[in-house]
Amino acid sequence: MKKENLFFINSFFNLKTTIYEENKDFELYFEEHFEEIRQRFLQSFCIICIFVLIAFLNINSIVKILQKTVSDIKFFQVSPGEYFISTVETSFFFGLLIFSPIFFNQLILFLFPGLNEKEKIIIPFLTITSIVLFFIGLIFSYFVLIPLTLNFFINYGKNTVEPLLSYNQYINFIGLMFFSTAILFQIPIVQVIVCFLNILSGQQMLQAWKYIVICSTIISAIFTPSADPITQLLLAAVLIFLYLGGAFVSIFLKSI
């Protein structure tokens, strides 16, 4: 019995001597996929490095663009090397932001051969839509959310403390805002994927509209802590619109 258990353990952890020898095609199939993953990882890494390098070479222009979200505010650095480290972080953030849609595209291309004909028709549509929504989220964050949120925090204590900002903390803050907003704008894509995985149907998503209104209101209050109710209602309306759009698109694509 002990020899059988030992043989089973050895067979489990050493698949090369059991399954692969019996099925040569499976070994080739696995190695092909592993090689594809390795190639796509290397390609993705090289693309990120290129974007980061481009951002670092143009960091002064990028910093000026990012600082335009707040006016009449002076930035300072706590230590001599803080600004240099912050510019490296800014370049890294920029590289990730630009690469994020490309990563999604790489993932889709890897899964594409295993999809059926209907899914192969829908996937390119989802890829393009995801990229468009991603950049719309960045634009919305830059022109609406970040200025309003920063102006609220700055003006809140303007009469008590001097409005100075650490550039490092500023970059971390707006980087988080950019990523979180871009992710929120991927709600319709997630809904379509959930629908095609048969987890929830588009009709069920529409039936939960009351809960979505409440969640959208809470999320808008978190992202726009200003006292301006119009801004909160605007973000809540955008989230509700994205959710309803995702539900209707899911119903439409499922019926094709």
- The alpha carbon of residue 246 and the mean position of all alpha carbons in its chain are separated, in whole angstroms, by 17
Predicted TM-score (pTM) of the model is 0.74
Quote the strand ranges of the chain, DSSP E: 74-76, 164-166
Which of 5-14, 109-118, 206-215 is predicted least confidently? 5-14
Q: Is residue 203 part of a domain?
A: no
Where is pLDDT greater, at 57 or 25? 57
Where is pLDDT greater, at 70 or 113? 70
How confident is the model at residue 1, as a pLDDT? 47
DSSP-derived 3-state class of residue 61: helix
Q: Mean pLDDT over residues 147-168, rounded?
A: 78
Q: Is residue 240 part of a domain?
A: no
Q: Is residue 101 part of a domain?
A: yes
pLDDT exceeds 90 at position 240: yes
The pair of structure tokens assigned to 171 is: 């970059």
Report the alpha-carbon distance of residue 191 to residue 188 in Å, rounded.
Answer: 5
Which of 94-98, 214-218, 241-245 is predicted least confidently? 94-98
Q: What is the pLDDT of residues 164-208, one digit of tens each?
A: 788 888 888 888 888 888 888 989 988 988 887 788 888 999 998
pLDDT exceeds 80 at position 158: no
Q: Is residue 227 part of a domain?
A: no
Q: Is residue 24 part of a domain?
A: yes
Q: Is residue 25 part of a domain?
A: yes
Domain, as residue range, for 39: 2-185
**Number of folded domains in the chain?**
1
Q: Mean pLDDT over residues 16-35, rounded?
A: 49
Q: How far is CA 28 from CA 31, 108, 110, 210, 216, in A?
A: 5, 22, 17, 51, 48
The pair of structure tokens assigned to 127 is: 């890829």
Which of 103, 87, 91 is closest to 45 using CA atoms? 103
In this structure, are residues 133 and 185 in contact, taking their beta carbons and an 8 Å threshold?
A: yes
